[in-house]
Structure formats: C-alpha cells, structure tokens
A = this chain, B = another copy of it.
C-alpha cells in the first residue's frame, strides 16, 4: 500500500455512544474487530439487538456444558453453538469471528482468572466450541419503550443458590438485580416473560436475602447501598453465571465474555419473543 493510499484513508475515530446505539450489529463488530471499542460496557450499543455472553471450551467438554445449559435454562439460554473449530456463529451473527469480534474476554485457567483479552486468536484451537448465551441487556430497548428505566440501580450479584451441575460444571446462580418502582416491576415482569430464550420473567422479587445475594461484592462495581423504601428489587437469572461457574469448576481452560461486554448478534430482540 502506498503512502498516498494511507493518507487518503479517513481518520478512524471511535463512535460516540449515541452513534454506537444506532449502528448495525455488523458495523459494531467491525469496530471491535479493529480493536477500537473502548467503552466499559456494550449496554446501549446497537440498540434492539440480542447480546450474548460467550463461553469457549474444547469439544471434549462441549456436551457436558451444553447439558449444564439445558439444566440451567434460565441463566444459560443457548442461542447458538459453533461447530468445533469454526469461529463463526452462523445462525445469529453470520460473518462474525468470535475470536476477535467480541469486545472483551475473560480467560480462566483451573478456575483462576488469568486476565482479560480483547481477542483470543492465540487461544482458539482446532476443536474449540463457542456457546452464545442470551443476555438480559437484549430486552433494554423493549423495557424502555414500555416505560421501565434500565440505566440506573442495576447490579450483577452472586447468590447462594446452586446451579444444577453437569459433568464438571457447577457453581452459584448469578442474578441481575434491578430496583424498580412497583409499577415498573409489574410491567417488567410481564414484558420479560415474553422472552423465554433471554432469561424470561424474573426468578424472584423482594428480599435479596431469599437468594443469598452477595450485596457487598457485586460482580462489577461498588457494594449495593441500602435499599430505599419506595423501590422493589427484582431479580433475573443472569448470563454471567458461566463466569461464576468457571471460578469454581476448575476447568483447564475456559474462556467467557468479560463482564458487561457482550457479542452483538444480528437477532432483533423484538422478534425473539416468538422464536
């Protein structure tokens, strides 16, 4: 490539959050592939599209993990599984490369978080299988349209409720807790029930102690403050459950999405309510 060609190329600045919100999933994934995505979260990115948490495992563990997801359908609704060695999620994001097109990955070795990555090209094996698991950020636009705020008072918490094990996979259920007004809580319950393949309706409402929520150590951010009298805590099963499972299951190598960094699929959230 000649110097003049380079000069002609427009400067590639990162889109603003408003621009990210209006971009197509394919456009956003391209930015991620080029390593230009620097936001802390994919929330509000390519609004109205289903976002997925990833899990990457060797083929030898794929059946057991699939079984884990079947036994824990609420936190782990599987929307796509790649063929061994194929990094393209052909059904939900054709053309995407799962090694580079997700904005962040957590790498666990023997249950220890080795670190975060922005690509997993060097970790991908000939027999790697990727699971794409629906995330509750997928419902944000639908909730907002229905008058339910989605920006504030939202935490991801470990519980003391065990998941149903399968093979080596076990660990605590992780939930998203949102503080809503009573009216919002009722609307959100009905609305999310229409998305059975995206965690569905809440699994609990009211006292966080009933699930044994760890309010002091959310999976991201600061401890949860005292709950005000005028809000209703509402709890959904969360697709960060595989990260908690990776911590305790001690798998040789298990890759998940980094917290709050989902794969942006081509699926339109409004359509998956009747898949």
A71 to B78 Cα, complex, angstroms = 9
A78 to B91 Cα, complex, angstroms = 19
A62 to B63 Cα, complex, angstroms = 7
Q: What 0/1 pattern do residues 175 to 207 of A give for CB contact below 8 A with B? A: 000000000000000000100110011000000
A91 CB contacts on chain B under 8 angstroms: 71, 164
CB nearest to A64 among chain B residues? B63
Q: Is there an interface contact between A274 and B201, defined as CB atoms closer than 8 Å?
A: yes
Interface size range on A against B:
20 to 34
Interchain nearest-CB distance for A90 vs B (Å): 10
Q: Is there an interface contact between A81 and B70, defined as CB atoms closer than 8 Å?
A: yes
Q: Is A73 an interface residue (CB 8 A)?
A: yes
Q: Is A225 an interface residue (CB 8 A)?
A: no
Q: Is A74 an interface residue (CB 8 A)?
A: yes
Once A63-B66, A67-B66, A67-B81 are accepted as A-B contacts, the answer to whether A73 and B275 lie under 8 Å apart by CB is yes
Residue from the list B59, B67, B74 in contact with A275, Cβ < 8 A: B74
Interchain nearest-CB distance for A74 vs B (Å): 7
A108 to B62 Cα, complex, angstroms = 26
Q: Is there an interface contact between B66 and A274, defined as CB atoms closer than 8 Å?
A: no
Q: Is there an interface contact between B70 and A66, defined as CB atoms closer than 8 Å?
A: yes
Q: Is there an interface contact between A70 and B78, defined as CB atoms closer than 8 Å?
A: yes
Chain A interface (Cβ within 8 Å of chain B)? 59, 62-63, 66-67, 70-71, 73-74, 78, 81, 91, 164, 193, 196-197, 200-201, 274-275
15 examples of A-B residue contacts, CB within 8 angstroms: A62-B63, A63-B63, A66-B67, A67-B81, A70-B78, A70-B81, A71-B91, A73-B197, A73-B275, A91-B164, A193-B274, A196-B196, A196-B197, A200-B274, A201-B274
Q: Which 7 interchain pairs have the tightest Cβ spacing?
A: A63-B63, A196-B196, A66-B66, A62-B63, A70-B78, A67-B81, A70-B81
